[in-house]
Amino acid sequence: MAPFTSSAGAFGAFSDDHAGGLVLNPHRHFDEALDPPVHGGNRVWAATIAGCPPEELVDFSASINPLGPPQSILDAIANPQDALRAYPDPTYGALRRAIADHHGIDPSWVMPGNGAAELLTWAARDLAALDAVYVPVPAFGDYGRALRAFGARVKSWLLVGGGDRDWLALPGGPKIGAIVNNPHNPTGFLWSAAVLESLLKRLALVVVDEAFMDFLPDERGWSLVDRLERYPNLVIVRSLTKFYSMPGLRLGYAIAHPDRLRRWNSWRDPWSVNSLAALAGVAALADRSFQQRTWDWLPPSRDRLALALRNLAPDTFKPFASAANFLLVRSAIPGPWLQRDLLRRDRLLVRDCLSFPELGSQYLRLAVRTDPENQRLIRALVAAYRRFVEEGASDGTMG
Ligand SMILES: Cc1ncc(COP(=O)(O)O)c(C=O)c1O
C-alpha cells in the first residue's frame, strides 16, 4: 500500500485518471488514533469560522437527507403533552412491531436504541470479549469510542478498493470478530451480501452497521437482514436519523438473535429511547411517500454532483462511486484549506477527512443535497479552485 504523498507540492495533481483505490496512509491507523471522534455537522464551530449563525450554513458535512424531516414525523410529535408526561413503554412494543413489520421479521429480534450509536456500544461490549476485532479502515470514528470503552483488542484492516478483494484475506477464527459498515462511511463502498456472508462463516461475531442502507432504492440483495436466522453470530445495526433527517431526536435499532438482545437490554439504562423518538419512528417507517421521494431524488442528484466535480477542473476532484448519500472525493486541494475557504466565503460546510487518520488532508466528504444546493457548492468550488491556484502562484509553490 503506497503511503499518501502530495509530491507535486502545494497543488499535487494526481497522475491516475480515476479515483481508483484508496490512497491510504498506513502509518496512521484507526486503533492508534487517540483523539476523540470528530463528526460531521459541527455547525457551532463552523459558524464561528464563517462569522454567521449556525442556521445560515449549508451543511454538506453531515450525511443527512435534505428532504426531511418528513411532515409525518412533525405531525407525530406535534402534540407532545401526553408523551412527555409519561415514561416511555419500557418494551417499546409499538416501535418494535413497526420496525419488525418493515423488515418482515419477528419483534423479538429488534431492539431500538438512542441512535445507532447506542447499539454500537453494546455490540462493542460483545466484540470486546473476543481475542481480536477487525475494523476496516478508514472507519466511522465512533467504532473506536465504543470498542475502547470495553478494552477491545482492535486490529485495523486497510480497505483497498471496495470490491470483494477487500475481504478475502481477512483472517478468521473462533475468537475473532469484525465490524463492517455497509454501505461504508466514508467511502460509499457497497459490498455484496455474499462476501459478507463469507465472513459470518469464518468469524465468531460480525456486526454489520447498515446505517445508510435505507438510502438504497432496493436494499433486498444487499442488506443481511434475511441472513439473521441462519447466523446467530450476526448483528445488524440500523439508524433512522440519516434517512429521516432526525439526528437531533436520535433513533436507531439493532436486529439480532433475541438472546443477545435480552442480554444487551439487561445492561443498558431503562428508557434510553425517549417517547418522541419512539412516536417519530413509527410514523417514519409508515411514510412510503417520503421514502419514495428520497429514492427518486438520490441517485440522479448524486450522479450529477459527481459528474460536476469530475468536470470542475482537470485532475482536481475525484469522487468515488458511492451507494450512499455522500461522496468521498480525492482532492488535489487540501481538505482543511477548502473547508475554511468555503466557510468564510460561502457559508458552506464540507467535511475534511482529517478525522479519518488513514485518509488525511487530500480527501473531502460531501453529502448529496438538493440540486440547487449542489450547484451552489460547485460554483463555490470553482471560485475556491481559482483562489487556490492564484495563492499557489503568488507564493511560488506552483512554480
Ligand atoms: C456509519 C455510521 N454508523 C452509525 C452512525 C450513528 O448514527 P446515529 O445518528 O443513528 O447514532 C453514523 C453517524 O454518522 C455513521 O456514520
Domains in the chain with CATH codes: 30-63+290-395 (3.90.1150.10), 71-288 (3.40.640.10)
The four Cα atoms 186, 187, 191, 196 give a dihedral, to 10 degrees, of -40
| CA 327 – CA 160 distance, rounded (Å) | 17
Residue 211 C-alpha to ligand 1 middle, in angstroms? 6
Q: Are 278 and 112 in contact (CB under 8 A)?
A: yes
Q: Alpha carbon of 140 to those of 150, 181, 188, 308, 345: distances in Å?
A: 17, 8, 12, 27, 29
Q: Which residues contact 398 (CB under 8 A, 6 or more apart)?
A: 9, 10, 11, 389, 392
According to DSSP, residue 9 is labeled T
Comparing CA positions, the residue from 240, 279, 235, 237 lying closest to residue 126 is 235
Q: Are 182 and 209 in contact (CB under 8 A)?
A: yes
Residue 391's pLDDT is: 86
Mean pLDDT by 10 residues, the chain (399 residues): 27 40 64 46 88 96 97 97 96 98 98 98 98 97 97 95 88 97 97 96 98 96 96 98 98 98 97 98 98 98 98 94 98 96 97 93 97 98 96 59
Cβ contact 360:6 at 8 Å: no
Out of 142, 249, 365, mutate this one to test ligand 1's pocket (max ligand atoms within 8 Å of CB): namely 142
- For residue 212, give Cα distances in angstroms to 12, 99, 127, 346, 390: 32, 16, 22, 28, 39
pLDDT at 26: 58
The pairing of beta strand 348-349 with beta strand 154-158: unpaired
Angle (nearest 5°) at CA 248 between 244 and 68 = 25
H helix intervals, the chain: 43-50, 71-76, 81-85, 93-103, 116-128, 142-149, 193-202, 258-267, 275-286, 288-312, 335-346, 371-395
Atom 7, ligand 1: residue with shortest CA distance: 116
Nearest ligand 1 atom to alpha carbon 114: 11
pLDDT given at position 394? 67
pTM: 0.91
Say how far apart CA 379 and CA 345 lie, in whole Å: 12
Strand partners, 253: 112, 238
Closest Cα to residue 191, out of 29, 321, 19, 345? 321
Please report where in the chains the cell 439487561 appears, as a residue: 266
| Count of CB atoms situated within 10 Å of the CB of 312 | 15
pLDDT for residue 22: 76
What pLDDT shows up at residue 184? Answer: 97
Residue whose CB lies within 8 A of the most ligand 1 atoms, among 184, 241, 250, for a mutation test: 241
Q: Say what the pLDDT of residue 24 is.
A: 72
Pick from 61, 242, 244, 355 the residue to mutate for probing ligand 1's pocket: most ligand atoms within 8 Å of its CB. 242
391 CA → ligand 1 middle, Å? 37
Q: What is the DSSP string of 305-342?
A: HHHHHHHHSTTTEEEPP-SSSEEEEEESS-HHHHHHHH
Angle between helix axes 116-128 and 258-267 (nearest 10 degrees) is 100
Q: Counting Cβ atoms within 10 Å, is residue 90 exposed (0-12), middle (13-18) or buried (19+)?
A: exposed
Cβ < 6 Å from ligand 1: which residues? 115-117, 140, 181, 185, 209, 211, 239, 241, 247, 252
Distance 312 CA to ligand 1 centre (A): 30
